[in-house]
Amino acid sequence: MNSRMSKAARAYCLMAATLALLFISGASPSLAQEVRAIQISEARKSDERTLAYFDKFRAALIARFGGDPLLSRLEFSEVEGEALVHASAGAPAEFVIWQTGQWISTAGRELKPWAPDADPSVSRFRLSAVTDKFVREHFRAHRTKASQATDTLGPVTVGYFAAPFNRLILEYQVSSMSSPGLTMSSFDLATGAPLDVTGAIVAAHAQREDARRKEFEAEKAARQRILVKEVPATLAQFRKDIGSARLMAVWIKPNKITFVQGDKVIVDYDQRGRFTRRPDPYDSVWLCTGGFDDREIEWSNFAALIEKAMLARNLDEEDRDYAEIAVERPRDCVPTTIEIKFSNYQSPQPSVTFDAAGRLVKSK
């Protein structure tokens, strides 16, 4: 909105200062009542000025765009009106500002929809959906409480609010003498029902923080899993979730297990327990497309094979958790091998190869 102070805002500041002086000087109750009466009157006049300006702004929009303009946001006070106008539901918005009876430049100004990515079929609204009656009734209802009778209301904003409401809402700003700062009063544009937007924002923030915390904890727990120790269970889950295709290779790392099928499909399993099919197939020629029978391998014996590999290469205890295993049937379809490498070493990494029965074949 325009930075100039409205008549209502000036009156509000004047009345606040007057009340403060009266309190300090110990003015009589009758004088304080007179001042309050003036404040209430000024507040109501402000409402009427805001509605009167909206009438003029609405007429200006219709004169400029014709018919019943389609909007994605509307904002007005007693001194200015702004709108995002669309030629059609899918058309881009034209930002316009009407002030002191004329259209003014939008340079250096912006007005954005609350939910820019929302479906245009639900987030756009006709100008006629916003009526004087709707605004006036909510202004009057606001002032029925004695503590709110002197509040300054406005500007008024209309637009589509996404989750958790997913509906068009009208809201107005509230400046109150009874409480510090500014607040917002929000309502369902279709039904007039009040909406706790502030509470919803706080709740959404709390939900995001809770989700972030849960994700952090889940990721922390996942990183503690060493998948080399979980191969039998993971293979069983692979057969259940993915299928029974013969495998050419199984590559096992502490944080990932990769299954390479005979049809060259590659599927990864991560520490979060998720199977993910790679978009590209296996494109090398080093494996036998006929694959091997799962029963050839003693999948639960890998811990013992790692110990044998460590002994064969005279490795230390801290090397154990860096073991990586490659179960492969080479391209000439010779017998399946189990190769164990230790990734904490630079190339060439210590490597020990076993046959499918777990017998040592070579060490390098």
Pair 43, 150: CB distance under 8 Å: yes
29-33, 44-48, 183-187, 264-268: range with lowest mean pLDDT: 29-33
22-26, 175-179, 227-231, 319-323: range with lowest mean pLDDT: 22-26
Q: Enter the tokens of residue 259.
A: 């299954």
C-alpha R_g of the chain: 36
Q: Write down the domain spans for the chain.
A: 7-192, 227-363
Q: What pLDDT, on the 0 to 100 scale, is given for residue 177?
A: 73
Q: Would you say residue 60 has pLDDT above 50?
A: yes
pLDDT band of residue 79 (cuts 50, 70, 90) is very high
Exposed e or buried b for every residue in 210-249, given b needs 16+ CB within 10 A?
A: eeeeeeeeeeeeeeeeebbbbbeebbeebeeeeeeeebbb
Side chain identity at 291, as an amino acid letter? G
Q: What pLDDT, on the 0 to 100 scale, is given for residue 190?
A: 95
Percent of the chain with pLDDT over 90: 75
Pair 257, 251: CB distance under 8 Å: yes
pLDDT (tens digit per residue) in 232-265: 999 999 999 999 999 999 999 999 999 999 999 9
| CA–CA dist 82, 75 (Å, integer) | 5
pLDDT band of residue 10 (cuts 50, 70, 90) is low
Q: What pLDDT, on the 0 to 100 scale, is given for residue 197?
A: 85
| CA–CA dist 309, 320 (Å, integer) | 10
Q: What pLDDT, on the 0 to 100 scale, is given for residue 176?
A: 85
pLDDT (tens digit per residue) in 80-91: 999 999 999 999
| Beta-carbon contacts of residue 130 (< 8 Å; ≥ 6 apart) | 54, 74, 158, 170, 189
Q: How confident is the prediction for the chain on average, in pLDDT?
A: 90
| 266-295 mean pLDDT | 96
pLDDT band of residue 28 (cuts 50, 70, 90) is low
pLDDT band of residue 34 (cuts 50, 70, 90) is confident
Q: Would you say residue 154 has pLDDT above 80?
A: yes
Torsion over CA: 239, 241, 244, 248 (sign): negative
pLDDT band of residue 32 (cuts 50, 70, 90) is confident
